Amino acid sequence: MPSLPVLVLNSGSSSIKFSLYEAGNGERTRLFEGAVDGIGTDLGKFWIKDANGKKLVDQTPAVPGRSVAFKLVADALHSCDFPAPAAIGHRTVCGGPTVRENQRITPALIDEIESYQDLAPLHTPIAVYIMREALRLFPSIPNFAILDTYFHRTLPEVATHLPIPSEYVAMGVRRYGYHGISYESIVYQLQPDVPGKLIVAHLGNGASISAIRNGLCIDTSMALTPTGGIISGSRTGDIDPGVLIFILKKLAETTPDAAEAAEKLETVVNKKSGLLGVSELSNDMRDLREAIAAGNAKARLAVDKFCWTIARWIGSYVAELNGLDMLVFTGGIGENDIASRAEICSGLGALGIVLDAKRNNVRGAAVISAENSPVTVRVIPPLEDLMIVDHVVRLLGE
Ligand code: AMP
C-alpha cells in the first residue's frame, strides 16, 4: 500500500486532540500533533507542533463550545502545508452493545453510537458531533470509528455479565471496559515477548486496570461506564450501590424531577468525587503531592485511597491470572508519579512485586523492579494515536 496521511481525532469533554501520521509499508511517521483545550472557556489553548516539537500554532482563543473548537482544527487542516488526510480515525470510547468492531463511519453508525451516549456521557456527545462534522467537511475521505471497548471483546461472560435483572442486561447493561486503545498499545509495544500473565494499570485522570492473559484481556476494572472501577480524578470508581440510592433519595427531597435528580447524581459521581471529592482540593495528582508535602491531611487520604484501591485490585488480578509475570504502569500518573508507583507496590512483596527505589526514581526508566523481583515492573507510555492509525490502515486494506 502506498504511503497515506492518516488523521487521528481524539476528543474529550473539554478538549480535541489531533495528529497526522504518514502511514505505509509498516512505517508510521507522525507529521504533527495538536490540541484545542479549554472548550467552554474564554481562554482556550490551541496549539500545533511538528515532529521536531516546533510550535506551528500557539494561540489562546476563546472557545465557547465544540463548534468553535472543531472549526479551529478543520481550518488549520485545510490551510496547512502538510498533506491532506486520506483517512480519519476517530477515537470512540463506547459504541454500546451493537457497535463492537472498529469500522467505517456512516451516518447510521453515528446515530447508533449516539443512542448509547449515556454509557460515556463525558466523551460520546462531542465525539459524535465531530464525526458528523468530519463527514460534512471531508466528504470524500473515509472515516473510521476505533473503539476503546474493542480490546475488551475477549472478556469472559463471567466478567461482562452484571448481577442485575435480565431486563437491564437486555438493554445493554454489562461490563464493556475502557482505555482499551491504551491497553492494546501496551501489548503491541511488548511484542514479540508479551508476558503470559500481565497486569496493566492505566493511571491518568481516569484510572483503570486490566488483567491480560497471553495478550488477551480477561478482566478490567471499569464496567458499564468509565465511572466504575478504581477511584480516579473526579469519579468515585466502584462504590456500594446503597450509597447511590442514599444520595439519590437525598437529592429527590429538593429535586422532585427524576431526570434532574439523576443528572445531579451523575455530576456527584463523575465530577465531584474521587481524588477531588476526598481531598476537597484538586483532581490533579501534582497539586495533591504538593499539598501532601505541605502537610494537607485530606490530600494524603485521597492519595492513600487511590494507591490502596489499586494495590487491592492488583492482588485480585494476580489471583485471577494465577500468578504474574509483569506489571506495567501507564497514563499521566503511572508514567510520572514516582511516589504513587512506590506507594502502590510497597505492600506487594508477597505477590513477587519488588521495586528498585533508584530505578523508580529515574524519569523515563523502562524497568523499575529490583533485579531479583520475581515480577518485572515496567513504565510504558501509551501510544493510542499510533494504534488508531494501525487500525485505520488495516481497515483501509480490507
Ligand atoms: P492523563 O489523563 O493520562 O493525561 O493523566 C493526568 C494525570 O497525570 C493528572 O492527575 C496529573 O496530575 C498526572 N500527572 C501528569 N504529569 C505528572 C507529573 N509530572 N507528576 C505527577 N503526576 C503527573
Q: Which domains does the chain have, with CATH numbers?
A: 5-147 (3.30.420.40), 194-379 (3.30.420.40)
1 band by pLDDT with thresholds 50, 70 and 90 = low
Kindly state the greatest CA–CA separation across the chain.
63
284 as an active site residue: the answer is no
Can you tell me the mean pLDDT for 334-338? 97
At residue 101, the 3 state secondary structure works out as coil
Bridge partners of 34, per DSSP, are 18, 48
202 Cα nearest atom in ligand 1: 3
Instruction: Return the ligand 1 atom nearest residue 206 CA.
Output: 2
Q: How many residues does the chain have?
A: 398
In b/e form, how buried is each residue of 92-109, taking b as 16+ CB within 10 angstroms? bbbbbbebeebbebeeeb
Counting ligand 1 atoms within 8 A of each CB, the residue from 93, 276, 333 with the most, and so the one to mutate, is: 333
Note the pLDDT of residue 13: 74
Mean pLDDT of 323-338: 97
Contact 89, 392 (CB under 8 A): yes
Mean of pLDDT over the chain: 95
Confidence band (pLDDT; 50, 70, 90) for 44? very high
Mutate to test the pocket of ligand 1, among 185, 285, 287 (most ligand atoms within 8 A of CB): 285
5 forms bridges with which residues in the sheet? Answer: 22
Q: Which residue has the cell 515496567?
A: 378
Segment 84-96, tens digit of pLDDT: 899 999 999 999 9
Residues having CB within 6 Å of any atom of ligand 1? 204-205, 233, 284-286, 331-333, 336-337
Name every residue whose Cβ is closer than 8 Å to that of residue 202 and which is 6 or more positions away in sequence.
179, 182, 183, 208, 209, 210, 330, 331, 334, 382
Catalytic residue among 75, 81, 148, 325: 148
Residue whose grid cell is 489553548? 45
Has residue 77 got a pLDDT over 90? no
Ligand 1 centroid to Cα of residue 314, in Å, is: 21
Q: Has residue 398 got a pLDDT over 80?
A: no
List pLDDT tens digits, range 180-224: 999 999 999 999 999 999 999 999 999 999 999 999 999 999 999
Residue 269 CA from chain centroid, whole number: 17
CA dist 11 and 184 (Å) reads 19
Helix axes of 124-137 and 107-114: crossing angle, nearest 10 degrees = 170
139 cis-preceded (ω within 30 degrees of 0): no
C-alpha cell at 70: 472543531
With CA atoms as reference, report the closest residue to 101 among 142, 144, 131, 133: 144
User: Residue 53: what pLDDT?
Assistant: 92
Question: Over the stretch 274-314, which tens digit does the pLDDT of each residue have?
Answer: 999 999 999 999 999 999 999 999 999 999 999 999 999 99
Phi and psi, residue 209, nearest 5°: -145, 145
